[in-house]
Amino acid sequence: MLLQTASPTRRFKSRIETFGGVWVYWRCGGADDASRVRNLSVGGLFIETRMPTVVGTKARLEFLVQEGQIRADAVVRHVQAGHGLGLKFTALSNGDRPRLAALMNRLGYLSREEPKAFWFPSRAAI
């Protein structure tokens, strides 16, 4: 008998699917684009893009959502060539934190997770 085991994950924060309702304008490595956010967590997101990018490249994000302005700095952590990028948040302003929490609440994040305080990396000046 052959048993399948679950593969371990390195992800510490669960992600939620956005189902096409979240877009982000982003700049990375001298290029910019607007992309659909496939999934999102308090630690990062995955965006759909065909733009070639290198792991470790810094990115600047501006979410295009009804919660208002949400700006963040991130770094490329994973590249799926021709499909998209996994980005890890590196900084988020104090003013944008409540809006990101509201976005995640709207997307159903808090209803599926235990209530806990959100931790977002800080950015001193924007």
The count of other CB atoms within 10 Å of the CB of residue 60 is 14
Q: How far apart are CA 39 and CA 37, in angstroms?
A: 6
Q: Which domains does the chain have, with CATH numbers?
A: 16-112 (2.40.10.220)
Q: What residues are paired with 16 via a beta bridge? A: 40
pLDDT given for residue 78 in this prediction? 93
| Average of per-residue pLDDT across 66-76 | 94
**Block residue for tokens 């982000």:** 24
Q: How far apart are CA 67 and CA 63, in angstroms?
A: 9
Query: Strand, coil or helix: what is 85?
Result: strand
pLDDT given for residue 14 in this prediction? 75
| Average of per-residue pLDDT across 4-29 | 71
What's the Cα-to-Cα distance from 44 to each of 12, 26, 62, 78, 79, rounded to whole Å? 11, 13, 13, 11, 14
25-52 tens-digit pLDDT: 999 988 899 999 999 998 999 999 998 8
pLDDT given for residue 4 in this prediction? 39
Return the minimum-mean-pLDDT range out of 6-10, 17-21, 30-34, 53-57: 6-10
What is the chain's mean pLDDT, rounded? Answer: 81
| pLDDT tops 90 at residue 90 | yes
